[in-house]
Amino acid sequence: MVAVASVVVAAGTVTGTVSALGDERPAPGARAPVARWSAPSPSGAPASAGGSVTPSPARPASPEPAVDPSPSTGGSRTAAGPALLYRHPDSQVRAWVDSHPGDPRRAVIASRIAGRPAAVWFADFTPSTITARVEAVTSVAAERGAVPVLVPYAVPRRDCGGASEGGAPDLAAYDGWIDGFAAGLGSREVVVVLEPDAIAQSDCLTAPERAGRLASLARAGRVLKAADPRARVYYDAGNSDWNPAAAQAALLRRAGAASAASSDGVFTNVSNFNRTDDETAYARRVLAALGGPPDLGAVIDTSRNGNGAAPGGAWCDPPGRRIGPAPTLSTGEAGIDAYLWVKPPGESDGCRGEPGTFSAAYAYELAG
């Protein structure tokens, strides 16, 4: 089998990007969105933090936020108006755009990638600073009335010792790190994509190790939602080419994903390339098998899935891929809460540059 994972370079601070975009609308014929975010308040000052990230799985197969114009309707957490995604301006792609004013690729990369949302990853295990680093993002997002997307990525034995190895030394240390992460959330809406690969890839663990990890993830969801009741926490469902939906749902239940006290649903396709329609169908199968509250939903990583998966399941910066649907909190699809760019487009899996580093050539190809 092909080993997977989100390849990450921990930069000692925050990794990735986040933003808002104002031109994404549901596809023709889409149903009214079931939204779970409330109306924004006026925007405030820009954020600052830095770092780099790189995810990329492979299993078989300008800092001002803008309004997502799709109105929010329905759902148990019905929104009062359009919600914003927050763009954190200190990202690798933004730095490249700012430092290459004469590059002929700049306009395309700036408008199609740097100007769109991607998640902020916290991939290094630094307990002493994690609260401040999370708060550096969430506090400014709150001032702007915008919704940041955060990725905690420090579970022990991350990536089963593969290209993204690292994380906390043990589960007790991880639990403490999550406590610190939660303390930085504040009291506004945030989206938390909790530990990509941690559940779908847990087959490398012994049965007791897997049980411990799943229990720790269930605790993490409870801690995050207790710290910020408006946080929306999503659990790892892998992707449509990985585990069968029923098998994945069984693991997700053990990790707390079916409990309203710890979960708002699942995420799929992080760092992968599967088409949105395939992931939508898969996410719905997982949710149906999972059970739990009827308003559990799914978010799908659409950052690089515009052309679907590469032939033969190639995963390391494969050619011919494109960015997918723009990030939005209003998808128009029942049960699908958001399309997000969890993997920042242009950050290498390790074949177009060092893992986690930005490749302008690859970004330009994806944006084309």
Catalytic residues: 159, 197, 349
Residue 275: φ, ψ to 5°: -65, 150
Residues 6+ apart with CB under 8 A from 206: none
Report the distance separating Cα 240 and Cα 268, nearest Å: 8
β-pairing, 231-236 vs 190-193, is parallel
Report d(CA 18, CA 144) in Å as an integer: 13
Burial class (CB in 10 A: 0-12, 13-18, 19+), 213: buried
Q: Which two tokens stand for residue 250?
A: 């069984």
Q: Which residues contact 130 (CB under 8 A, 6 or more apart)?
A: 122, 177, 180, 181, 184
306, two tokens: 């515009």
User: Token match 């242009």: residue?
Assistant: 346
d(C-alpha 299, C-alpha 147), whole Å: 14
- Distance between CA atoms of residues 62 and 220, nearest Å: 33
The encoded tokens of residue 220 equal: 């993490």
Tokens 């659990």, residue located: 235
Q: Which residue has the tokens 């792609």?
A: 93
Q: Which amino acid is at 341?
A: W
